Amino acid sequence: MNVLGIETSCDETAVAVVADGRRVLANLVSSQVRLHRPYGGVVPEIAARQHLQSLAGLTAEALERSGLAWGDLHAVAASYGPGLASALLIGLSAAKALALRLNVPFVGINHMEAHLYSPFLSATAPEFGAVCPLIALLVSGGHTCLVRAEGLGQYRLLGRTLDDAAGEAFDKGAKLLGLDYPGGPVIDRLARAGDAACVAFPRARSLKAADAGGLDPSLCFSFSGLKTALRNYLAAHPAPDARARRDLAAAYQEAIVDALARGVERALPRERARALVVAGGVSLNSRLRRRMRDLVAARDVVLLMPDPAFGGDNAAMVAGLAGMGRGVRGPRAPALDACPNLEFGR
């Protein structure tokens, strides 16, 4: 089962070819960061236009690198949400057109489910079902949630952010500190030489049940107060020098990682989880990775995090998940629309 996957939900144009849901034959990602950097964030129209320009060439190159011919493909998959509407539409339309031309099925994939699946692309990873029930902490630029998985396709949302996503908190904090976009990797790098104890940034302690939309508020997150605390600190202590910036980056990062770790610590025993998945762009954060390793070391829990090549947005996770039989397929698939607010686990 060879699947070609396409991912255009945000600012990476990505195409991959995956065999049998696991063997990655090609994985190409064309980042648009350079184009969006002057604006300090992703501009949807620029993203969509760039996807349109890159996609055909990237698709041909991915196929070539996979060593397969067009006729060897058994399906074409694409993320159909959540994400930016205009950006999603490019990959979705291209995938449908290609599937039609090749006379193979088109499969629509939920981008967050694909992130959840990303650690299982590694040849050494266990079978999904073998480590269930599991808890997944999905942390990306647009979404942050805790999900319980009983098996592939059997999910229950446990908690989510009530305001900013973890990646968004990193990016907005970096902007306040005058750092480059995207801020997550920059804060990560600076924080390594910083003193996280220099400022005690707030941790959202008691989220209200009324705000949690039926979820357990103790498994939900909130990062907007943290961003405000950094803004207030910078108003009182303007123009931080290089050393102060490193310390602030470390303290700010610690507050985000702390909040995420606390949710995981609560959920693991409560859900009797056998494994913990941490995935999405923020799973590349070195401090978060360390904290998650420490957290499972004291417990009988398997930790699964994506290989760095599959941590950020990529199409291997999309093609892989489709190869496992997941996604919208069959007669409904050709009419599938882009779903910018597609839910996961509800």
CB-wise, 51 or 246, nearer to Zn ion? 51
280 binds ligand KG4 (CB under 6 A): yes
Which position among 171, 247, 254, 271 is part of the footprint of ligand KG4 (CB under 6 A)?
171
Which position among 18, 282, 318, 322 is part of the footprint of ligand KG4 (CB under 6 A)?
282
Residue 186 · residue 173 · CB < 8 Å: no
Q: Which residues pair with 28 in a beta bridge?
A: 15
Q: How far apart are CA 165 and CA 190, in angstroms?
A: 21
How many residues make contact with ligand KG4 (CB under 6 A)? 19
Output the smallest distance, CB 303 to Zn ion, in A: 20
Q: Is 138 helix (H, G, I), strand (E, B) or coil?
A: strand
Which span (94-102, 184-192, 212-220, 262-270) binds ligand KG4, by CB under 6 A? 184-192
Q: How far apart are CA 15 and CA 154, in angstroms?
A: 26
Output the smallest distance, CB 48 to ligand KG4, in A: 16
CA dihedral 171, 175, 179, 185 (to 10 degrees): 0
271 binds Zn ion (CB under 5 A): no
Residue with tokens 């255009």: 8
> What's the DSSP call for residue 124?
T
Which span (90-98, 121-129, 194-202, 309-317) binds Zn ion, by CB under 5 A? 309-317
Q: Which of residues 310-339 bind ligand KG4 (CB under 6 A)?
A: 312-313
Tokens of 200: 């005690």
CA torsion through residues 204, 208, 212, 214, sign: positive
136 binds ligand KG4 (CB under 6 A): no
Q: Is 260 helix (H, G, I), strand (E, B) or coil?
A: helix
φ/ψ region of 63 (left if φ > 0, alpha if ψ in -120 to 50, else beta) reads alpha
The arrangement of strands across the sheet holding 2-7 comes to 23-31, 12-19, 2-7, 75-81, 106-110
CA torsion through residues 321, 327, 330, 332, sign: negative
Which position among 8, 13, 50, 140 is part of the footprint of Zn ion (CB under 5 A)?
140
Which position among 59, 79, 140, 222 is part of the footprint of ligand KG4 (CB under 6 A)?
140
Which position among 313, 316, 320, 321 is part of the footprint of Zn ion (CB under 5 A)?
313
Which position among 3, 6, 10, 177 is part of the footprint of ligand KG4 (CB under 6 A)?
10
142 binds ligand KG4 (CB under 6 A): yes
Output the smallest distance, CB 60 to Zn ion, in A: 24
Which span (55-63, 119-127, 312-320, 338-346) binds Zn ion, by CB under 5 A? 312-320
Q: How far apart are CA 52 and CA 176, in angstroms?
A: 32
Summarize as ranges the residues that interact with ligand KG4 (CB under 6 A): 10, 140-142, 167, 170-171, 182-185, 188, 280-282, 284-285, 312-313
Summarize as ranges the residues that interact with Zn ion (CB under 5 A): 140, 313
